[in-house]
Amino acid sequence: MRYVVIPGIGGSGPEHWQTLWENAWGARASRVRPASWDEPDLDDWCEALTRAVARSGPDVVLVGHSLGCLAAAVWLSRETRPSIRGAFLVAPPAVDAPSFPAAEAGSFIPVEPAPLTAPALVVSSDDDPYCDPESARRLAAAWHAGHVTVGRAGHINAASGLGAWPAGRKLLDAFLAG
């Protein structure tokens, strides 16, 4: 099994659980490489995801965070990839939330959520400033994905103080086990 890591704006720095997981996975993981982490363009991020999946080979798990979840969802709704084992989507933002970075990520706003072509699990927080619990439930339902909340964990990022987020790894492992 291989992992394709899809960070959000800024690219998930060195203390982010995605980076820590990627480092632990070593050669079994790759990170998407869009033209810009700070000025995201949806089509560019989807093209970067296509390249990353192609480099990874079969039996791929997508591991998205924040805006990376939206890129993964759009990519999955457009693509039919039998090699995608699943999508683990953590803290997707609600594009209609006042906190959504519309100036930087405007190309993500007009996309309506659609059913995904691979099994998926949405992991959300009860106090995420970018996505309230009801919006997270609606996204998961529109994507035909499972949904788990981890309580009060902010945006489930480095600022949340999760470190390598062992509880998240357990969720990922359980999701992949079925």
pLDDT of residue 112: 87
Residues of the chain with pLDDT under 70: 81-82
Environment class of residue 45 by beta-carbon count within 10 Å: exposed (0-12), middle (13-18) or buried (19+)?
A: buried
Report how far residue 171's alpha carbon sits from residue 150's, in angstroms, rounded to the nearest whole number.
Answer: 10
CATH number at residue 99: 3.40.50.1820
If phi > 0 it is left, if psi is from -120 to 50 it is alpha, else beta; for residue 163 that is left
pLDDT of residue 82: 63
> Which range of residues forms the domain containing residue 96?
2-177
The conformation of residue 109, written as its DSSP 8-state character, comes to T
pLDDT of residue 110: 87
pLDDT of residue 57: 82
Environment class of residue 117 by beta-carbon count within 10 Å: exposed (0-12), middle (13-18) or buried (19+)?
A: middle
pLDDT of residue 81: 60
pLDDT of residue 27: 95
Predicted confidence (pLDDT) per residue in 106-157, tens digit: 999 988 899 999 999 999 999 999 999 999 999 999 999 999 999 999 999 9
Could you tell me the maximum CA-CA distance found in the chain, to the nearest angstrom? 39
Query: Up-side HSE of residue 20: CA atoms within 13 Å toward CB?
Result: 13
**Two structure tokens written together for 59:** 């039996």
How many structural domains comprise the chain?
A: 1
Note the pTM of the prediction, 2 decimals.
0.96
